[in-house]
Chain A
Amino acid sequence: MKTITYGQAVSEALREELLRDENVFILGEDMAVMGSVFGLTKGFLEEFGANRVIDTPISEAGFTAMAVGAALRGLKPVVEIMYVDFTPVCFDAIVNQAAKMRYMTGGQASVPLVLRCPGGAGRRNAGQHSQSLEALFTHIPGLKVIAPSTPADIKGLLKTAIRDDDPVVCIEHKLLYATKGEVPDGDCTIPLGAADIKRPGRDVTIIAWSRQVHSALEAARTLAGEGIDAEVLDLRSLVPLDWETLASSIAKTHRAVVVHEAVKRGGYGAELAAQIGEDLFDHLDAPVKRVAGLNVVPPFSPALEDFIYPNPGDIAAAVRQTLGR
C-alpha cells in the first residue's frame, strides 16, 4: 500500500499499461510535450516515444475517429478528451462508430478504445468546461462507462478498461485529481461492473459515483451523529451496472437515495430510480429520492456555481426525508 493522488493513480495506470502492452498508445491534445494539461503524462514522451504518446491538433472529431480506426486494427488507443464538455464535438466517432461497430458487423469488429474525459464543476470554468455528461454515454448501447471516486479505484478500473475489448468512457472529476488515497501495490486491477460499499450501514442506501461519493460519505458522517446509519454504495461503473450489490443493499436498508452531480433531468439517477422502482418495489419503505445537479448551465461566478451541484447537506436532508425525520 502507498498513498498517492488520484492524478498520480491515473498516471500510474497509463504508464503500467503502456509498459505491459505494446499495442497501447495515448492520443490527445497536449499529451506528449506538455504531459497533459493536468500533468498526468509527464515524462511519457521521453519514456515511450512519439509513436505511443501523440500530441494531436485540436481536432477532436478527427482524432477520436482515427482512434476507432486504429482500434479496428488491433491497437488499444487511450484518448483524452481534455474536458468531457468537448465530447459533443466528436460525438459521431463515439456514438455512431465506436459504440456500434461490433454489433453492426455481426461481432466481427472490436473497438478496444478508452476515452478519458475529465469532467465536473467546481473550478469556476463556466458553461463549457464544467459539465457532468455521463448520462449521454450510458444511453448508448455499446459503450461502457466508469466514474471512479478514489485513487485505488481509478487505477484499477482504468487498467481494466484499457484491457477491455469494448469502448469505455472514463469520467474523471477534475476536483478529484489532487485528492489522496491508498493504492495497493502490484497489478491492482478492478473488474468493470463491480460496485463498492464505501461505508456499510443499515438504514438507507446512498448510491453515488465520482466526486459525489465523497459528499455522500460526509453526509453519512453527519447522519451518524443523529443515529442514522447510512450505507454509501459507490457504483464505480455505470455500465455494466452491479445490480446484485445494489439490490442486496436496498433489500437490507429498504431506502435509497441516488446522488449525482449531473443535472437531474434525464440523469443516470433517473434510470436507477426507475429500475429500483420496477424491480425492488416490495423492498422499499419510501420513494427513491434523487439528489442531483440543477437543470441549468454551469455558471461562472463562485457566488452561483456552488449552488448547482449537491453538497453533503442536501444529501443528508434527502436521507432524513426518506426516513420521515
Chain B
Amino acid sequence: MKTKKPGRDTLLRFYREMQRIRQFDLKAAELFSQGRMAGNIHTCIGQEATAVGACQALEPTDFITSTHRGHGHCLAKGGQAAVMMAELFGKATGYCKGKGGSMHIADLGLGILGANGIVGAGIPIAAGSALASKIKGGREVTLAFFGDGASNEGVFHEALNMASAWRLPVIFLCENNKYGVSVAIDRVTNIADIADRAKAYDIPGIVVDGNDVVAVFEAVSAAASRARAGEGPTLIEAKTYRHRGHYEGDPQIYKPADEAAGWKERDPLVLLRAAVLTLDPGAAAELAEIETSVRREIDDAVTFAEQSPYPEPGEVVRDVYAADNERSVAR
C-alpha cells in the first residue's frame, strides 16, 4: 500500500516530536547526573526517528508496548512531558503516581500499554493486545517496540509464531541500536539482519534506516495497513544507534573509539533538519521556533515535576489489588 510522501508541514511536525524526545532525554540525563533524580535513566538519544516515525504512522486508538528505553516511545504516542518528568522524579503527579518510574511509564488512555523493565516482555503483551482486537472485532493495531537484545528472548519467537499463525494485527518493531547493555549484537547473533527472522514465521521482514523518520513512517504505515486488512503481523528492523551508554554513567568501554563519530553525522535530527531545509530553505525560522518552544515545554515539565508533591506514605500499600486490597496486603 502506497502512502503519500510526507510534505513540509508533516516533516516539521515530526521534527517537533523528535525535538521533544531529544530535549526530554538530554534534560533527564542532566538532572540525573546532578543527583536530582533517583534510580536509573536509559536515554534513547539517537533513536528518536524510530519512535516518532512509528507512532506518527499509528492512529490515536492504536496501542504500543515499550521498553526500559521508552521515554521516546511514550512521548511520541502522545505522552505529556510534564507528567512523565514527574514520574521520573517519583512524584504523586506522575503517570504512575511515582510507583513505576522511568521504566514503567504507561497511559492506557493514550494506548501506551506500558514501558517494561524486562527485556522482550512487551512483545507478547502486544501480541495479546492484538489478539484482543481480533476477538473483539476491533480495527486497532498494536505495535511492540523492542531492541536487538530482545530478539534473542524466547518470547520474541513465541509471539511472532502465534501472531503469524493467527494473523494478528500487530507490528513488531525492533530498534537495533547495536548493543544489549555492553554486548554488540553481532557478537552473539549469527545473522546480519534481525528482520530475516521473519522468514521463519512466514511474515514480511523489513529493514529500514532507523535514523530516517520518513523511512520508518512509511514502513510502519504499510505494516499498519496490512494489519488492519487482516493480513497479519510485520517485523520491521530499524537500524539505529544508541548515542549514550546503556545507563547514564556507563563508561561505554565496549564501543570502538571510531564508531560514534559516523553515527553522530547521521544523527536523526540533523538528517531531518537538512531534509526540511532542502524542501524549503525558508523553514529555518520555524525550525528555530520549534526548538525554542520545545525547550520551554521541557523546562516547564521540570518545574512541574520539581514543584509536585511526593506521594504520601499511605500510598505505598495502595494499588496492589483492585478488590480487597487492604486485606490482601496485610497478610
Contact = CB atoms under 8 A, between A and B. Distances in A.
A110 B98 CA distance: 18
Given A102-B321, A103-B320, A105-B108, A70 B135 contact: yes
Contact of B97 (A69, A74, A106): A106
Nearest to B328: A240
B308 to A, nearest CB: 13
B127 A69 contact: yes
Which of A56, A61, A71 gathers most chain B CB within 10 Å?
A: A61
Interface in A86-103: 92-93, 96-97, 101-103
B131 interface: yes
Which of B98, B99, B318 gathers most chain A CB within 10 Å?
A: B99
B2 interface: no
A241 B321 CA distance: 14
A102 B128 contact: no
Contacts, number: 163
A93 B161 CA distance: 17
A321 interface: no
A294 B104 CA distance: 40
Contacts of A137: none
Nearest to B160: A62
Contacts of A312: none
Which of A52, A61, A66 gathers most chain B CB within 10 Å?
A: A66
Interface stretch (B113-121, B209-217, B245-253): B113-121
B328 A144 contact: yes
B158 A63 contact: yes
B100 A106 contact: yes
A92 B96 CA distance: 21
A156 to B, nearest CB: 16
Given A62-B155, A70-B131, A106 B95 contact: yes
Interface in B308-329: 318-324, 327-329
Contacts of A85: none
Given A62-B154, A97-B125, A239-B328, 20 more contacts: A51-B134, A57-B162, A57-B165, A61-B158, A63-B162, A65-B127, A66-B159, A69-B126, A70-B128, A92-B121, A104-B104, A105-B104, A106-B99, A107-B319, A108-B96, A108-B108, A109-B108, A109-B114, A192-B324, A241-B327
Interface of B: 63, 65, 94-100, 104, 106-108, 113-114, 116-118, 121, 124-136, 142, 154-155, 158-159, 161-162, 165, 318-324, 327-331
24 contacts: A57-B158, A59-B161, A61-B158, A65-B121, A68-B128, A69-B113, A69-B126, A69-B131, A72-B125, A73-B128, A92-B118, A96-B118, A97-B118, A97-B125, A101-B114, A106-B100, A108-B108, A109-B108, A141-B320, A142-B320, A164-B322, A192-B324, A193-B324, A240-B327
Interface of A: 25, 51-52, 56-57, 59, 61-63, 65-75, 92-93, 96-97, 101-110, 141-142, 144, 164-166, 192-193, 239-241, 243, 275
